[in-house]
Amino acid sequence: MIEDKPKGLRALLPILYPAVTLVVFFVIPFGIMLAVSFFEREPGGFYTTDFSIDNYGNLFTELFGRVLVFSIFISALCAVICVAVGFPFTYFITRMRRKAQVVWLVILVSVLSLSAVIVAFAWSLLLSQTAGISNLFVWLGLMGKPVSWSPGFWALTAGMCYIAFPYTVLVLYPPLSRLDPHLPEAAQTLGASPVTTFFTVVLGSLRSAIVATLIMVFAFTLGTYLIPQILGRPQHWTLSVLITDEAVYHSNLPLASAMAVFFMVVSLALVGLTMLIGKSRGPAAR
């Protein structure tokens, strides 16, 4: 029995570092934020440690509800667009030669090196009236005069999808590269068309990877802060912008913390619901 204890401790060593990291960088900051959300704000940007639920009561406003719904909607829309475009894109990459795959992956990784500020201003310039892509459409005769599409809803959607698309491909690449190439061939041999094979065999066998990618992109775009401010109008600002505005410009840390806690709970609930739906549909699809 005495000799088994060191072995048990050695077995716990591989998970010790991740556990400590999780506690230091997530549990403790979240606990502090949760505690501050119950504090009371005083004039001048200060707050007291008195316990109060008024901050959560102040969340039930039209502004907060509208921003919350829009944040969830734009993140879900970007997740669907990224997966709908990224899945066939990644599928065709995995069918290329190894050197071509490496080139495409290097290009995608290089996109990740760009900061959100550079991406946002690049899209703002691309969609502007003076030097944007609309001038090319005018030169081609497709438009009568150049127009500005930024800031706007679709400019915001394009910028957020551009940021999340490389992550989408990188997450989908491993399961698609491990897909047995004989499965599509067997389906086509049995009379299925290439389109039918793609939607039934390829999509059906990678349902879990698709759900995981949707959740990843959804959670990633929920925290976008700079892109909504640059590419969107004030009515397109997300809850991340509203939380930062309360914390930095209004110096209302208790209310900002309550917003963040509520936002995290709603996000986790939506992620859990998505996973539950994916699992409930799994056996039926098999």
How wide is the angle at C-alpha 194 spanned by C-alphas 193 and 197, nearest 5°? 85
Average pLDDT, integer, range 199-208: 77
Q: Are strands 46-48 and 40-42 parallel, antiparallel or unpaired?
A: antiparallel
pLDDT band, very low/low/confident/very high, at 63 (cuts 50, 70, 90): confident
Q: Note the pLDDT of residue 158.
A: 92
Q: Distance between alpha carbon 38 and the CA centroid of its chain, in Å?
A: 28
Q: Is residue 36 included in any domain, yes or no? A: no
Q: Which residues contact 112 (CB under 8 A, 6 or more apart)?
A: 166, 167
pLDDT band, very low/low/confident/very high, at 279 (cuts 50, 70, 90): low
Burial class (CB in 10 A: 0-12, 13-18, 19+), 165: buried
Per the prediction, the chain carries an average pLDDT of 83
Q: Note the pLDDT of residue 81.
A: 95
Range of the structural domain that residue 190 is part of:
63-285
CATH number assigned to the domain comprising residue 180: 1.10.3720.10
- C-alpha distances (whole Å) from 280 to each of 14, 76, 199, 207, 283 are 33, 20, 20, 12, 7
> Is the backbone of residue 114 left (phi > 0), alpha (psi -120 to 50) or beta?
beta
Q: Is residue 42 included in any domain, yes or no? A: no
Q: Note the pLDDT of residue 285.
A: 40
| Integer Cα distance of 138 and 88 in angstroms | 31
For residues 56 and 203, the answer to whether their CB atoms sit within 8 Å is no
Q: Which residue has the higher pLDDT, 111 or 194?
A: 111
Q: Which residue has the higher pLDDT, 132 or 213?
A: 213
Q: Is residue 16 included in any domain, yes or no? A: no
Q: Is residue 212 included in any domain, yes or no? A: yes
Total number of domains in the chain: 1
How wide is the angle at C-alpha 206 spanned by C-alphas 201 and 211, nearest 5°? 135
Q: Is residue 257 included in any domain, yes or no? A: yes
pLDDT band, very low/low/confident/very high, at 95 (cuts 50, 70, 90): confident
Amino acid letter for position 135: N
pLDDT band, very low/low/confident/very high, at 169 (cuts 50, 70, 90): very high
In the chain the beta strands, taken as DSSP E runs, fall at 40-42, 46-48
Q: Note the pLDDT of residue 284.
A: 41
Q: Is residue 240 included in any domain, yes or no? A: yes
| Integer Cα distance of 259 and 239 in angstroms | 8
pTM score of the predicted model = 0.80
Check whether 281 has a pLDDT greater than 80.
no
pLDDT band, very low/low/confident/very high, at 283 (cuts 50, 70, 90): very low
For residues 51 and 38, the answer to whether their CB atoms sit within 8 Å is yes
pLDDT band, very low/low/confident/very high, at 45 (cuts 50, 70, 90): low
Using DSSP's 3-state secondary structure scheme, residue 73 falls into: helix
In this predicted model, what pLDDT tens digit does every residue of 104-152 receive, in sequence order? 989 888 888 888 888 888 889 888 888 778 888 888 888 888 888 888 8
Q: Is residue 128 included in any domain, yes or no? A: yes
Q: Which residue has the higher pLDDT, 168 or 44?
A: 168
Q: Which of 174, 260, 271 is nearest to 216 (CA)?
A: 271
Using DSSP's 3-state secondary structure scheme, residue 42 falls into: strand
Q: Is residue 56 included in any domain, yes or no? A: no
